[in-house]
Amino acid sequence: MTARIGVVTFPGSLDDRDTQRAIRVAGAEPVALWHKDKDLKQVDAVVLCGGFSYGDYLRAGAIARFSPVMDTLIDQAKAGLPVLGICNGFQILTEAHLLPGGMLGNDHLHFICRDQKLRVENAGTAWTSDYTAGQEIRIPLKNMDGRYVADRRTLDELEAEGRVAFRYLDMNPNGSLNDIAGITNAAGNVVGLMPHPEHAVEPLIGTGRTDGLPFFTSILKKLVNA
């Protein structure tokens, strides 16, 4: 049976089609989910893709968090459904309190778009098992509100529990505390990161590398072996 991975589209989503393609390249079946529907169509995992949901009014991800689909998604994620939040999706996950901390505007107050070097810190999540801890990868980064912040106690907990999933290398592109590029929840089924792995799954697009593909092969292997 082919694993089915849902991709939620909000008003202002930009990367839903790219994410669906990445899922297809990995060998799973992408399933389009609409923000107004509470039905997740019995998918095995969900990706919240990048973009500017609801124009990023109020705060990035703040309105999308209250979309009908999120009511179901929050309950399912707490019950163990694998969820990946990419860029705006990461922002939505923090607004929904599925991941701790929050996202603020880049410290230099400019939109950034570049190939970004990362270090994999946690290869034990549902979305990172095809990486190895300490592996260095390069995938595209594009954001205006990408600065990860949290109080000191939360940061200490994330570090102590190994829940920093990815860290920026060579440069901190947005002022994120502790150079954090992505984190995971305690159970390892919910992961959020600012860079865009869906843009690095084929040699002809993005960085010209496939460093982002293991996100999607990782979840596929987990679902197949579950």
List the catalytic residues.
Answer: 87, 196, 198
DSSP 36: T
Which burial class, exposed, middle or buried, applies to 59 when counting CB atoms under 10 A from its CB (0-12, 13-18, 19+)? middle
Closest Cα partner for 94 from 149, 166, 31? 149
Amino acid 117 reads K
What is residue 153's DSSP assignment?
H
3-state helix, strand, coil in the chain (%, to 5): 30, 25, 45
- Interacting residues of 204 by C-beta distance below 8 A, sequence separation 6+: none
Two tokens, residue 211 = 């460093």
Q: How many residues does the chain have?
A: 226
Please enumerate in sequence order all residues whose Cβ is within 8 A of that of 15, keeping only pairs 6 or more positions apart, or say none: 49, 50, 51, 86, 87, 196, 198, 199
